[in-house]
Structure 1
Amino acid sequence: MDDAALTAKSDLFDSESLLTDEERRTRARIARFNADHAAPGAAERWVEGRMALELVPELTRLGVYGGGVQGYGCSGLGDVADGLVAAELAKVDFGLSAFFGIHGVLTLRAISSLGTPEQKSRWLPGMADGSSIGALGITEPDHGSDTAGIETRARSVEGGFRITGRKRWVGNASVADLTVVFAKDDHDAVAAFVVPGGSEGFQATPIEGKIGMRSSWPTDIVLEDVFVPSDHRLDGADGPQIAGAFNAVRPIAAWQALGLSIGAFEATLTYLDAREQFGSPLTSFQLVQHKLAEMAVAISSMRLTCIRVSRALQDGSLTHVMASAAKMLCARQGRSVVSTARDLMGGNGLLADRVVGRHFADMEAVFTYDGTDHIQSLIVGKAITGRSAFRRA
């Protein structure tokens, strides 16, 4: 079964017709990159817990960083294109999708949204051409979903700021040339600071022992009185802009859930169609068809959701409720899809050399990060009822 035929199996609402020709071409370039570069060795990298840094230059040459950013050398392909790239990479190697999402989307967008024109001119071109790798530090050991509780502090000193605190689950930071760190300033307001890699007092250590995201390197960061000059504070921002930068995180997580789901579905369908039990292909059994139908409908709805929220992000109409609802829906549906795929694959679904086994583990990370399912539901619940369920002591 060719790629187009496989795609149609989980696109029951014809979301393909909603894409532009340029968006389809962008996805096709990533599909070729996957076949030629990412798929070979993906299982070995996952088992070894190794990120495919050697493939980053090849990915960079495709010119796909910064789809949601206009100018400064960024691709400007659009936010849907960003999502398509993240999803297509996630189908094969979630570590590469995580790298792209953090560097090529979120860090670029944060600097673009929050920086002054001078700051954007200084940092964006190098990130767009891959000569400078970016990371984004929001989550802390004691503050994940509760971003308002950030404890990292940026104290004003002569010529700049001294930043002290800790961050956790920060992708790319151990190999990054710059990390955008969110901290509270002297006035207790959340602000963003560009911290160069290698700064004295800055340490980023990859987190070991993960059962998912094994081919990605999220890190623990310790900042001990790290000095950054005054012009490293992203001063083109106010409160609403910072909130908007956070909103951009969740659509990418939704796209990654979609990519993992498509990868698991397509691998499972191919496997079941070729495997016989009791004298018939597994795909001829009622229970199997029922589960495949549920998976296909879930993925089809995820496709539409991802396109919708990315179009809204691009035209400026995305709200935090839309972003949370999209992440909530796609992470839940995706978790169900990969779990069903693992079930249908039987014992083979537990093997790391199978796409389904790796995606089953990696989906748990997507279900959790960028705001847990519980937090997303409370954001949506507040919008429905007008009452906040969040409480502070």
Structure 2
Amino acid sequence: MSATATSFTSFLKDFEESLKYLFHEKADINTLSLERGLPPEILSGIMANKPLSVAIPKEFGGRGSIVKECLGILAAASYESLGLSLTFGINIALFLEPISKYGNSEVKAAIFNRFLENANMGGLMITEPDYGSDALSMKSFNAEIENGYKIKGTKHWQGLTGMADFWLIASRKQLNGSDLARDIDFFIADISKEKQKIVVEKLFKNPGLYMIPYGLNTVDIEVPKNHKLEPETTGIKMMLDILHRSRLQFPGMGMGFIKRMLDEATTHCRNRMVGASNLLAIDQVQFQLARIQSAFTICSAMCARSSNISGIENNLAAEGLEANSMKAVVTDLMQESAQLLMQLSGAQGYKIDHIAGRGIMDSRPFQIFEGSNEMLYGQIAEIVTRSMKKQKESSLLAFLKTFEPTAQACLHFKEALNFSINTQLSQRKLINLGRVLGRVVCLGYVLELQEKGFRKDLVENCTTMVKQEVGALISSFHFDNATGVIEDYKENSSWLDFV
């Protein structure tokens, strides 16, 4: 039976069993995680299950680009390997879904067929050495030529550098002379074609996610006219739609990873004896495990919400609040869960081939790429404060009660959120406020999931944890701290001179 004809339950189960065999019997995932890339026989075994078929439309032989299925595959992969899950996430959210939505109909069939039959992969090139999050200032350019486009520039930190068979490349149209258009264009590069090959100048030595190659790329290619993506309105809005959809699918990668951290931590604490009892008898251990379990609950709710709103039939260009909240909060939870597992594991967790040590290094960059969390939290706060100003509302609680993403959850924080915002906030306070708002938004997802039947005790524990965290963040928000760095600090600052 083909992958597309199989029920998703069976398809997912087969995929999970295949990963268990490949990572625990045929090879050792602890050893594989210390090597760059994956051995060809392991990678081919993984791709034999056609996991990326979940992101290919049915009319092209895929399973239909159903978000629930995409997130399910990401979660199954991240339970075993966060690097593998990110590999799939790059392919799904940053290549296959954009092609499905914006690709020229003349090129889709051949591309999707190569993914299904030849286990091809694709990635996205936006970031440049001098322009990280400032994508609108990128210097890569495109110019129209006979029968196509010439694209030239330098890109770096693209996941799957030197490994992907296809790339989506962002650039700006070259105008008169050296001027570039403000809008962004995207083009498909097929590196199997001579004029579309991308030169890998160097591979970076990333300290985590060994499975994924990153590097510096020189782009100097020519592509046919039908390799240009076709935006619904502008290229910038298309880019926002792509990036927001990707951020809304981060919970899929977080789901399996956090569940693995929880399972490993619980098993360790149940089996680790200290005196006459195990670690589970210790109050602080219970608190730490409850923190990871709260992360599991929040991530579960995020996955449910994302499944409802992030399909390619929806335009997500204006959905920055939810996209930023999901991405920033879930990646914070991933890193915290790994840190807690390491703490509970003691010295064993500090080994790089231990799931905790590996988890810390692999999850850390998630807080940085696709928009650093500080930037995203600042944007969340700006969205809310701008809306408050527009409505001439200074009371945060009063506004959040009328704001759909927070209307239900904010009632759990009446005392903490009952204050006015009357002045221009500093960047650090905006970021702090964004952390608060992101967690209120995400608790709303949890309450929504409870209404559908998700178990009440997990929701209650999670609500208590989020309330405590928000209380601490609000206290920090109100504390007046405008300290800055003292650049010439070395004079009169050596303790040796005062002893």
Task: Determine whether 1:272 maps to 2:269.
Answer: yes
SS in 2 for 1:226: strand
Cα pair distance change 1:54/1:276, threshold 3 Å: same
C-alpha separation in 1, matches of 2:124 and 2:39: 19
Structure 1 counterpart of 2:314, one-letter code: G
Q: 1:152 aligns with which of 140, 147, 150?
A: 140
Task: Determine whether 1:43 maps to 2:30.
Answer: yes
Task: Determine whether 1:375 maps to 2:372.
Answer: no
Q: 1:54 aligns with which of 41, 47, 50?
A: 41
Q: Structure 1: where are the runs of 5+ without partners?
A: 1-20
Q: 1:227 aligns with which of 202, 222, 230?
A: 222
Cα pair distance change 1:386/1:81, threshold 3 Å: same
| 8 Å CA contact retained: 2:55, 2:92 | no
What is the CA-CA distance between 1:317 and the residue it aligns to? Answer: 6.6
Residue in structure 1 matched with residue 327 of structure 2 by the alignment: 327
Cα pair distance change 1:120/1:98, threshold 3 Å: same
Query: Any idea what the Cα deviations from partners look like across 1:248-304, whole Å, max 9, x if unmatched?
Result: 211233322332222222112112211111232112211111110111012111110
Structure 1 counterpart of 2:28, one-letter code: G
What is the CA-CA distance between 1:359 and the residue it aligns to? Answer: 0.9
Q: 1:194 aligns with which of 188, 196, 220?
A: 188
What is the CA-CA distance between 1:43 and the residue it aligns to? Answer: 1.5
SS in 2 for 1:345: helix
C-alpha separation in 1, matches of 2:41 and 2:383: 45
How many residues are paired up?
370
Deviates more, 1:129-138 or 1:108-117: 129-138
| 8 Å CA contact retained: 2:250, 2:326 | no
Structure 2 counterpart of 1:207, one-letter code: L
Cα pair distance change 1:328/1:286, threshold 3 Å: same
Aligned-residue Cα RMSD (Å) equals: 2.6
Task: Determine whether 1:185 maps to 2:173.
Answer: yes
Deviates more, 1:261-270 or 1:361-370: 261-270
Deviates more, 1:328-337 or 1:116-125: 116-125
Q: 2:212 aligns with which of 216, 222, 226?
A: 216
Structure 1 counterpart of 2:203, one-letter code: I
Residue in structure 1 matched with residue 345 of structure 2 by the alignment: 345
C-alpha separation in 2, matches of 1:82 and 1:32: 17
| 8 Å CA contact retained: 2:83, 2:362 | no
Higher strand share: 1
What is the CA-CA distance between 1:53 and the residue it aligns to? Answer: 4.2
Residue in structure 2 matched with residue 304 of structure 1 by the alignment: 301
What is the CA-CA distance between 1:41 and the residue it aligns to? Answer: 2.2
Residue in structure 2 matched with residue 16 of structure 1 by the alignment: none
Structure 2 counterpart of 1:316, one-letter code: N
C-alpha separation in 2, matches of 1:52 and 1:285: 42
Cα pair distance change 1:349/1:312, threshold 3 Å: same
Task: Determine whether 1:93 maps to 2:81.
Answer: yes
Cα pair distance change 1:52/1:250, threshold 3 Å: farther
Q: 1:316 aligns with which of 292, 308, 314?
A: 314
C-alpha separation in 2, matches of 1:35 and 1:131: 20
What is the CA-CA distance between 1:105 and the residue it aligns to? Answer: 4.2
Residue in structure 2 matched with residue 355 of structure 1 by the alignment: 355
SS in 1 for 2:212: coil
C-alpha separation in 1, matches of 2:61 and 2:80: 28
Q: Rg: which structure is higher?
A: 2
TM-score normalised per structure 2: 0.69
Residue in structure 2 matched with residue 124 of structure 1 by the alignment: 112
Residue in structure 2 matched with residue 257 of structure 1 by the alignment: 254
Identity %: 19
Task: Determine whether 1:288 maps to 2:285.
Answer: yes
Q: 1:111 aligns with which of 86, 99, 120?
A: 99
C-alpha separation in 1, matches of 2:98 and 2:39: 24
Residue in structure 2 matched with residue 28 of structure 1 by the alignment: 13
Structure 2 counterpart of 1:162, one-letter code: K
Q: 2:67 aligns with which of 69, 72, 79?
A: 79
What is the CA-CA distance between 1:52 and the residue it aligns to? Answer: 4.6
C-alpha separation in 1, matches of 2:426 and 2:285: 42
C-alpha separation in 1, matches of 2:289 and 2:208: 24
C-alpha separation in 1, matches of 2:369 and 2:145: 34
Structure 2 counterpart of 1:357, one-letter code: G
Deviates more, 1:148-157 or 1:291-300: 148-157
Structure 1 counterpart of 2:188, one-letter code: V
Query: Any idea what the Cα deviations from partners look like across 1:306-336, whole Å, max 9, x if unmatched?
Result: 2212321126275232111110110112211
TM-score normalised per structure 1: 0.86
What is the CA-CA distance between 1:237 and the residue it aligns to? Answer: 4.9
What is the CA-CA distance between 1:243 and the residue it aligns to? Answer: 2.3
| 8 Å CA contact retained: 2:50, 2:119 | no
What is the CA-CA distance between 1:68 and the residue it aligns to? Answer: 4.3
